[in-house]
Amino acid sequence: MLRISYPEQGSSLCVLRRLLPAHGGTDPGAVYKGRQEKDDNLELTLEVGKILEENGIDVVYTRTTDVYQTPFEKARLANESGADYFISFHRNSSPSDNQYEGVEVLVYDKNGIKFDMAENIVGALGELGFRELGVKERPGLVVLRRTKMPALLVETGFINSDGDNDLYDENLKETAQSIAGAILGTLTEETIEAPVYYRVQTGAFQNRENADRMLYQLMDQGYPAYLLHQNDLYKVQAGAFQQLGNAVNMEQRLRDEGYSTVIVTK
């Protein structure tokens, strides 16, 4: 079973697996022109969690409503849930309006699968047009230091950047799909005592551009698609299911759309 979680004034998700929306209640997080970070965090967390659940991932949320939790409470909830991963969603902010823009993911250190997942998330959001600020170490953050499982804090653009807000608002579902796809794609790379996940492959290409073209087409149609580079091939896949029947259902949907598919476990 896989769990994920998310952070402090953000929202979180435990992929079991735990998801965490940051901030909440009396803590609005960063505020810009009446826009409150806590609302964006919760909205995105629920969208990402929905996609992961549809792909057979058990998700635990630190909050699903507008309530406040301290960073220590969020870390405790994640640890007690037995989550496999903790993912906290935030929006960044800068001293001056429209000073910076871009997405980044914070981790305790740049080791292990959390670092791979963080890089994949940044890259996926970069393909939507966000500036990629990279993966940064923040060992002092409570939700990264006190959690017992791999933990990430996703900063989805600057809330006081009009450009980032336009991208965020116009591409909310695509942003959620990109993050969920990056998570699912990373999970397929787990090798130590990992459960078997069934995935639906729609193509394998030697040319990256051809693979990207199919990837974007699937994402535009609402599929949780992602790209893997294995054995000198760019493989386009969708979903990561623990139950074969769920993969079969996904495959049938894709075939009805005209795709040639095969169910794989790698």
Q: pLDDT tens digits for 220-243?
A: 898 888 888 888 899 999 988 878
The dihedral of CA 68, 70, 76, 82: what is its sign? positive
Nearest to 12 by CA among 136, 134, 144: 144
pLDDT of residue 109: 95
pLDDT at 191 over 50: no
Question: What pLDDT digit, counting tens, does each position of 111-139 carry?
Answer: 999 999 999 999 999 989 999 999 999 99
Confidence category of residue 189, pLDDT binned at 50, 70, 90: low
Question: What pLDDT digit, counting tens, does each position of 25-64 carry?
Answer: 667 889 999 999 999 999 999 999 999 988 888 898 888 8
Cross-sheet strand order for the sheet of 233-241: 225-230, 233-241, 198-205, 262-264
pLDDT of residue 80: 86
179-183-184-190 Cα dihedral, nearest 10 degrees: 160
pLDDT of residue 76: 87
pTM for the predicted model, two decimal places: 0.70
